[in-house]
Structure 1
């Protein structure tokens, strides 16, 4: 399997989306995820599209119990092939009738795992012959009883996280921070323009808003731009404490003078 390094940087919203899709892609909707991460459904749909375009989310697959469906059996073939041939052979194996999954390992022996479905001994002998014809050494084969998938826990919600925690954070040289934060309901800056927020000292003087993601679109902020609930704000903070720079987007205890 070839890998292309992506320059796309995951933030907390992306991670929560991936966690939800891994948990149950079929029954998870954009509005459901949006409610959890405090952004709009359109933003979630746009993020999913970006994750797909970047090759991070590669597809959505049904998990099938073939034995229950048609009394078929699933076998796992553990194989060893030269490291230089793994990718090429994986493509060839996918063409063998009955093969439903091929896993390439980067190094070591037993570097190719193949899942195949069949009903009779004849079918599995045919698959074995096909593998042998490709000069693949089958080290072991086993009947698969069950296979369970779980979402990656570190991409899930952290209930202990403070309310002001940003969705993404990057510290640059010179004490400058790039922070991404979702605007919560009743935050002091909601329904204020950036100019009004600066005049009323709602937004920290050391914070500069550089991008606004709203309903799946990225807006260039201007003085007259009004901040709305569920906006995803990217800002540059030059202060010592980034939490102070994002208070206006999360807390509701600051009065609008």
Structure 2
């Protein structure tokens, strides 16, 4: 399969002692920016029952901030992987490959995933993942506690690739703003969406979106200026933005090429209440 898209992925390493310390990393009450330069070897984490792997944790539930999801960038070296990758039976997941290739087995069915590959993993499903190639593979792993609803079935697992889908243009943007959707917004079985958003150079989100959905935005390609809660910040391929609910957000795509990001958002469920303790 030919790949027409670019995908940034962290390479690790460690900056030299001569490098300036200051960077664009910031954590505020409304948003966080994790720039690509800070994703080094010494901030990686590991998981039980995995071999030849490491990961950058770029989002995790934090009380009072983003509370619905976690997101990792997982790197598996050749001959690495796991037969027990997910230990929480209530967790659903999305995998998105940004470098290399890997083999995933879901309920006994084998799939070979390359760059742009996307897998949805419902809660409680049996899956394994291995790198049988001779190069490292890197992929995003978005996890969320699935919100079961009486009368709705749990959605089934599926595997696809971005290159097999056509982006959907936003109205009145003449193709300048488009979204690649892997799940229909009308499918109430899903309580999260992980999409790819693309802006052509000069295109914008023309107002400050202010909404209940939490976001994780990993920049796959290009650069832009984002307006976040009255602050203007520059972002580029490899940066990650973490936005809490109701954080005002808009952007301007800077060019010279497309600005693209992997977007998480929670959807299709009632708002949970914090109930008083008896």
TM-score > 0.5 by shorter chain: no
TM-score (norm 2): 0.23
TM-score (norm 1): 0.25
Greater relative contact order, per chain length (Cα 8 Å cut-off, separation 6+) = 1
- Flag the structure with larger Rg: 1
